[in-house]
Amino acid sequence: MDSVTKRYPDGTVAVDRLSLEIPDRAITVLVGPSGCGKTTTLRMINRMVEPSEGSILLDGQDIRRQPVNTLRRSMGYVIQNAGLFQHRTILDNVATVPRLLGWSKQKARARAAELMERVGLDPALAKRYPYQLSGGQQQRVGVARALAADPPVLLMDEPFSAVDPIVRKGLQDELLRIQQELGKTIVFVTHDIDEAIKLGTKVAVLRTGGRLAQFAPPAELLSAPADSFVEDFLGADRGIRRLSFFPSAGLRLETGPVVPIDADAERLASRATADWLLVTDADGRPLGWSEPERLTAGSVDRDRLLPYGRPFVPGTDSLRAALDGAVLSPTGWAVAVDGEGHAVGVVSQQAIGEAIRAAHDRAAERAEVNAG
Ligand SMILES: Nc1ncnc2c1ncn2[C@@H]1O[C@H](COP(=O)(O)OP(=O)(O)O)[C@@H](O)[C@H]1O
Ligand SMILES: [Mg+2]
């Protein structure tokens, strides 16, 4: 988008000289308060709204140079509440665009069934009507319908805003997975900054009047908001939230304090100097914490162990998850587990603090290299 302005006939400037380079095969999020021009921007991309000034290029070509129907066919569009056709079955809703493109009924329905599966919908729902589905299910149908003709671009306008937080999380995870699998170029509009940070490869923060406040990867928004508007919009806990972009893989894990419930007296004695021991079951899954002097070989009372909080998976989870685990743990130590839930070590708050400082230093060095 090259210096795009939209002035509506009544004089409202919805978008003001907006320039954005939207990356291919990634999710770009437009976020900002209500009325800041997000929907207008999205609709200019598929020419449902025409800019007053400036130009929009797709793969280097002005979008006005191709027929509007061809343009729209290359862009799936998903809106809040899915906008499904109420008198059509779920399968036929998803098959809408292929049918418009002249596919046979059979081929279009086969494609629709495949897409239902892709977005995590039970095939048994195919014959139902939209009103017979939950909000979250309808939203999945909306995504499947937008994907039906396999367009390279998906435009999504607050698609998940009307569903409850738990369903929304599922839909967000599904969208990330689909994007990874299919490599679509997605422009996603939301007013929810947490959703923007979770989904966006890059995030454009817009302010009222349709002006761009900042366009950056989420970790950069959190570490270096461009101004007080962006900072206020990001809200509290910016530092903590930024930790979700730092991997926990480099944390120094200690295995000494981890003992199985069937440890013999000799083994327990060798750990007696630790402040706390993490007791695991015979398979190595954590059971809880104990002070060493309270453990007697052969008769460990599981009910007297202290809860171990929420374990994290090094390499998969972030430093935020590790810190959360340490804060939730009554001992101040976080428990690290592998993908199957076996304890692989424990890590102190102090070690996590050191890892956070090191990660900040590395990020600052990278920023300096990029700036210089
Ligand atoms: N068709 C229209 N005519 C006049 N003003 C409009 C029209 N559509 C939107 N607007 C105004 O343009 C501004 C941006 O609207 P919109 O793009 O819908 O914002 P958002 O999606 O961020 O809430 C708002 O002030 C809105 O009232
Ligand atoms: Mg809107």
Q: Mind giving me the DSSP string for 41-90?
A: HHHHHTTSS--SEEE-EETTEEGGGS-HHHHHHTEEEEETTTT--TTS-H
Give domain status of residue 310, yes or no.
yes
Number of the ligand 1 atom closest to the C-alpha atom of 191: 22
pLDDT given for residue 259 in this prediction: 94
Give the per-residue SS3 of 261-326: CCCCHHHHHHCCCCCCEEEECCCCCEEEEECHHHCCCCCCCHHHCECCCCCECECCEEHHHHHHHH
Residue nearest to atom 25 of ligand 1 (CA): 35
pTM of the predicted model, to two decimals? 0.87
Which of 177, 212, 244 is the last residue before a domain boundary? 244
- Quick one: 280 and 227 in the same domain? no
Residue 156 alpha carbon to ligand 2 centre in Å: 10
Number of the ligand 1 atom closest to the C-alpha atom of 36: 22
Residue nearest to atom 26 of ligand 1 (CA): 35
Cα–chain-centroid distance for residue 261? Answer: 38
Residue nearest to atom 20 of ligand 1 (CA): 35
Question: Which residues form the domain of 118?
Answer: 2-244
Q: Which ligand number lies closest to the CA of residue 158?
A: 2
- Quick one: 177 and 127 in the same domain? yes
Domain count, the chain: 2
- Quick one: 142 and 231 in the same domain? yes
pLDDT given for residue 80 in this prediction: 83
pLDDT given for residue 61 in this prediction: 94
Residue 285 alpha carbon to ligand 2 centre in Å: 48
Residue 38 alpha carbon to ligand 2 centre in Å: 6
pLDDT given for residue 297 in this prediction: 85
Q: How far apart are CA 250 and CA 252, in angstroms?
A: 6
Q: How far is CA 134 from CA 77, 141, 143, in A?
A: 20, 11, 14
Give domain status of residue 368, yes or no.
no
Q: Which ligand number lies closest to the CA of residue 32?
A: 1
pLDDT beneath 50, residues of the chain: none
User: The domain that contains 20 carries what CATH number?
Assistant: 3.40.50.300
Q: How far apart are CA 316 and CA 322, in angstroms?
A: 11
Pocket probe mutation, ligand 1, options 12, 52, 156, max atoms within 8 Å of Cβ: 12
User: The domain that contains 287 carries what CATH number?
Assistant: 3.10.580.10
pLDDT given for residue 227 in this prediction: 95
Of all residues in the chain, what percent are helix, strand and coil, respectively (each to 5)?
A: 40, 20, 35
- Judge residue 47's burial from the number of C-beta atoms within 10 Å of its C-beta, 0-12 exposed, 13-18 middle, 19 or more buried: middle
Average pLDDT of the chain to the nearest whole number: 93
Give domain status of residue 363, yes or no.
no
Number of the ligand 1 atom closest to the C-alpha atom of 210: 14
- Quick one: 82 and 136 in the same domain? yes
Residue 12 alpha carbon to ligand 1 centre in Å: 8
Give domain status of residue 370, yes or no.
no
pLDDT given for residue 371 in this prediction: 76
- Quick one: 101 and 212 in the same domain? yes
Give domain status of residue 295, yes or no.
yes
6, 49 contact by CB (below 8 A): yes
Q: What are phi and psi of 242, to 5 degrees?
A: -65, -30
Residue 48 alpha carbon to ligand 1 centre in Å: 13
pLDDT given for residue 12 in this prediction: 95
Q: What is the SS3 assignment for 177?
A: helix
Give domain status of residue 182, yes or no.
yes
Q: What is the pLDDT of residues 157-169, one digit of tens each?
A: 999 988 888 889 9
* Residue owning tokens 């990330």: 176
Pocket probe mutation, ligand 1, options 18, 40, 43, 158, max atoms within 8 Å of Cβ: 40
Number of the ligand 1 atom closest to the C-alpha atom of 157: 21
288, 279 contact by CB (below 8 A): yes
Host H or E run for residue 142? helix 135-147
- Quick one: 267 and 226 in the same domain? no
- Quick one: 150 and 96 in the same domain? yes
β-bridge mates for residue 357, sequence order: none
- Quick one: 233 and 335 in the same domain? no
Nearest to 76 by CA among 22, 152, 175: 152
Q: What is the SS3 assignment for 119?
A: coil
Ligand 1 pocket: which residues have CB below 6 Å? Answer: 8, 10, 12, 14, 34-40
Which of 193, 213, 244 is the last residue before a domain boundary? 244
pLDDT given for residue 364 in this prediction: 86
Residue nearest to atom 11 of ligand 1 (CA): 14
- Quick one: 74 and 199 in the same domain? yes
- Quick one: 191 and 48 in the same domain? yes
Give domain status of residue 364, yes or no.
no
Give domain status of residue 251, yes or no.
no
